Amino acid sequence: MSEPINIDALIVGGGCAGLFALRAMRAAGMSALLVENNSLGFGQTTASQGILHAGVKYSLGGLAGDDAKEASEAALEWVDMLDATKGNLNNVRVLTRECYLWRTSGVRGAAGMLGAKLALRTRPEALDDALRPAWLAGVSGEVLTLGETVIDPISLLSELAKPHARCLLQGCVTNVRQNKNNVDIEIESSRRVCVRARHLILSAGVGNQDILGLANIADTPMQRRPLRQAMIRGALPMVFGHCIDGAKTRITVTSDCVGDVASDVVWHVGGQIAEDGTAMSESEFAVYAMTEIKKCVPALAFKGCEFSSYPVIRAEPRTGDGRRPPKAFTSTCANVTTMWPVKLVLAPMAAAAMMKQLSITAPAAREPLHWPADLARPVLAARPWDTAQWNPIA
């Protein structure tokens, strides 16, 4: 085997968390490289609906906890990055700057709106009945607007990866050996590569657990939170928002165009139905999901539309009750740092926390370093609807 590549940091995982980590380290002058065993964003980032949550969704129980407040602060940081006042992500495709928040009728729905009116920095505003969009006709509960941005996750990945294209490798980590001051990592790519790094940064979602095992680190337990996301394709309005019932988000809908015809729209649907659908078959979930969606958006008949769904596993640090952790997670053991951003909006904060944890602040003025040109490069992952099997909606 050839001599190892000596670098400051190797990042494993090419989703948005890993790319934000690479960006932060190279901005600090470090020699940092990234390896991804599939395609950029494969798994959790491409399964994301692209919502930069402003914290309201996490306050529906009536209290604005750490998760709501952290998401609220992070969402404002994103506005600066997308507007190029900070972070230079102004070419990321923004799908909307405003979402709707509406409730189903009944006492539970009314109670759920209380949390949405807490004093977070981004607050929902009541919408006059005359200004409701046509697709919300027939909704008897309250409707609000929320200054919540939705982006195209693939566009984000593209913008993060573009300046660092020669720092990205497609390959699989096969061996990790910790030494006193560095980590030796073997990678199987178009040929075998050995890297010696001062820091090994894990941002591979579910894959973190396997690499922690290779490094003989057992004190960073992971939990898997399975979901099943729904998709509807057809002549639909562009919809962005949350239908709530009590402390639950019944459905969350984001939209995008699929093809050259403006009326060919896909809805990406999550929320409570995504949690409920994990034990269902594809056909059972289709019936259940469409029943819920039609109750939440009664004005639409979905005539001529098609349905599909796909499973996704959210990888997170373990919590006592198995629920979603409230904050982005970073933990360092010896020379290995593990990251789980928990949600898309917190990915830059997870990278910043990693830099702080490793005491990386001032530029190190290292010579730029890239992967050898003969090694394989990862491509962008496909959007979920681009590879879906579609079925007509009855």
pLDDT band, very low/low/confident/very high, at 359 (cuts 50, 70, 90): confident
**pLDDT of 374 above 70:** yes
Q: Select 99-149+224-315's CATH number: 3.90.320, 3.10.50, 3.30.9, 3.40.50.
A: 3.30.9
Q: What is the pLDDT of residue 372?
A: 95
HSE toward the beta carbon, residue 308, CA cutoff 13 A: 14
Annotated domain spans of the chain: 5-45+156-221+319-384, 99-149+224-315
Q: What is the pLDDT of residue 324?
A: 75
**pLDDT of 358 above 70:** yes
**pLDDT of 360 above 80:** no
Helices (H), the chain: 16-27, 44-47, 66-82, 107-116, 153-161, 208-214, 272-276, 282-296, 347-357
% of the chain at pLDDT higher than 70: 87
Give CA–CA dist 195/223, Å, rounded.
29
Q: What is the pLDDT of residue 69?
A: 66
Q: How large is the average pLDDT for residues 173-201?
A: 95
pLDDT band, very low/low/confident/very high, at 221 (cuts 50, 70, 90): confident
Q: Select 5-45+156-221+319-384's CATH number: 3.40.50.300, 3.50.50.60, 3.30.930.10, 1.10.10.60.
A: 3.50.50.60
Q: What is the pLDDT of residue 120?
A: 47
- What rounded mean pLDDT belongs to the chain? 88
**pLDDT of 170 above 90:** yes
**pLDDT of 262 above 50:** yes
Q: How large is the average pLDDT for residues 331-353?
A: 92
Q: How large is the average pLDDT for residues 228-245?
A: 95
Q: What is the pLDDT of residue 119?
A: 46
Q: At what angle do helices 16-27 and 347-357 cross, to 10 degrees?
A: 50
Q: What is the pLDDT of residue 260?
A: 66
Q: What is the pLDDT of residue 212?
A: 92
Q: How large is the average pLDDT for residues 71-78?
A: 79
Give CA–CA dist 80/89, Å, rounded.
9
67-76, 103-112, 148-157 — most confident range? 148-157
Give the residue with greater pLDDT, 367 vs 183.
Answer: 183
Sign of CA dihedral 148, 386, 173, 24: negative
pTM, two decimals, is 0.91
Q: For 80-179, list the strands marked E by DSSP.
A: 94-96, 99-103, 125-126, 143-146, 149-151, 168-170, 172-178
Q: What is the pLDDT of residues 288-318, one digit of tens each?
A: 999 999 999 999 999 999 999 999 998 888 8
Q: What is the pLDDT of residue 63?
A: 38
Q: What is the pLDDT of residue 296?
A: 96
**pLDDT of 53 above 60:** yes
Q: What is the pLDDT of residue 252?
A: 96
Give CA–CA dist 140/303, Å, rounded.
23
% of the chain at pLDDT higher than 90: 65
Beta bridge partners of 125: 145
Q: What is the pLDDT of residue 258?
A: 86
Q: What is the pLDDT of residues 81-132, one digit of tens each?
A: 998 766 689 999 999 999 999 987 655 555 455 555 554 456 788 898 899 9
